[in-house]
């Protein structure tokens, strides 16, 4: 799916100094040349990217299909939040669809019969190169859950209209989840009124 310009191309970077190299992110201080020719320093968080997937229990063609959301503990968010399954690739070579399929099964215990690519989003381009590929999964069959040690996840089945209402009311605040749900409503499942 990675057909657009890669977010990891930095033609205006003059130099970089690594400040922190962690398990998931790398923080650096980059000296860059701006469009007007001036130079400056920018803090940059480099991230391997991720895939996220909206699991549809039935068919995307149903009037109000059931979907799966997860309620996951997120330390940075101060507790449990609503999300769609997502995760980072196992290696730089792992394709986005493979990552999405793996994360779907690991977090929900379901496998995708069909995986439809939606789009790619840049999460916070002001300071990170993190890009997330978004998908919709349908034709689900039972698989096997395999959570990481730091994942505390509850799987919840609900009508798609309920998820739309949760976006509208502010119950779903996770950016990748909001984008995926709204994209699916507009371009995959058709526009639906939340109940």
Give 64's contacts (C-beta < 8 A, 6+ positions apart). Answer: 159, 160, 161, 192
Q: What is the pLDDT of residue 149?
A: 85
The CATH H-level (homologous superfamily) assignment of domain 50-188 is Nucleoside Triphosphate Pyrophosphohydrolase (3.90.79.10)
Question: Furthest-apart CA pair in the chain: how many Å?
Answer: 56
Separation of alpha carbons 94 and 84, rounded Å: 20
Contact status, residue 74 vs residue 81, Cβ threshold 8 Å: yes
Element containing residue 54 per DSSP (H, E): strand 50-55
pLDDT, one tens digit per residue, over 23-82 is: 999 999 999 999 999 999 999 999 999 999 999 998 899 989 999 999 999 999 999 999
User: Which pLDDT band, with edges at 50, 70 and 90, does 5 fall under?
Assistant: very low
Q: pTM for this one?
A: 0.89
| Helix and strand totals (H; E) in the chain | 3, 12
Residue 106 has pLDDT above 60, yes or no: yes
Q: Mean pLDDT, to the nearest integer, of 118-126?
A: 96
Closest CA to 121 of 49, 27, 47: 49
How many CB atoms are located within 10 Å of the residue 87 CB? Answer: 18
Q: Percent of the chain, pLDDT > 70?
A: 92
pLDDT, one tens digit per residue, over 140-164 is: 999 888 888 888 999 999 999 999 9
Residue 195 has pLDDT above 60, yes or no: no
Residue 6 has pLDDT above 80, yes or no: no
User: Which pLDDT band, with edges at 50, 70 and 90, does 189 fall under?
Assistant: confident
Domain ranges of the chain: 13-46, 50-188
**Alpha carbon of 22 to those of 16, 28, 96, 99, 123: distances in Å?**
16, 11, 22, 21, 19
């Amino acid at each position: 799916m990675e057909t657009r310009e890669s977010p990891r191309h930095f033609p205006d970077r003059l130099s970089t100094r690594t400040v922190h190299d962690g398990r998931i992110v790398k923080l650096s201080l980059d000296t860059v040349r701006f469009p007007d020719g001036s130079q400056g320093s920018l803090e940059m968080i480099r991230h391997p990217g991720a895939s996220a997937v909206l699991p549809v229990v039935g068919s995307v063609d149903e009037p109000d299909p059931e979907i799966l959301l997860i309620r996951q503990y997120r330390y940075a968010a101060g507790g449990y939040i609503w999300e769609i399954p997502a995760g980072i690739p196992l290696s730089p070579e792992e394709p986005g669809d493979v990552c999405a399929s793996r994360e779907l099964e690991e977090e929900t215990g379901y496998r995708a019969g069909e995986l439809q690519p939606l789009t790619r989003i840049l999460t916070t381009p002001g300071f990170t190169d993190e890009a997330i590929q978004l998908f919709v999964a349908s034709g689900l069959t039972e698989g096997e859950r395999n959570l990481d040690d730091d994942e505390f996840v509850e799987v919840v089945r609900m009508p798609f209209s309920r998820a739309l209402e949760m976006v509208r009311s502010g119950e779903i605040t996770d950016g990748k989840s909001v984008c995926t749900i709204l994209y699916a409503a507009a371009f995959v499942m058709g526009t639906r009124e939340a109940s």
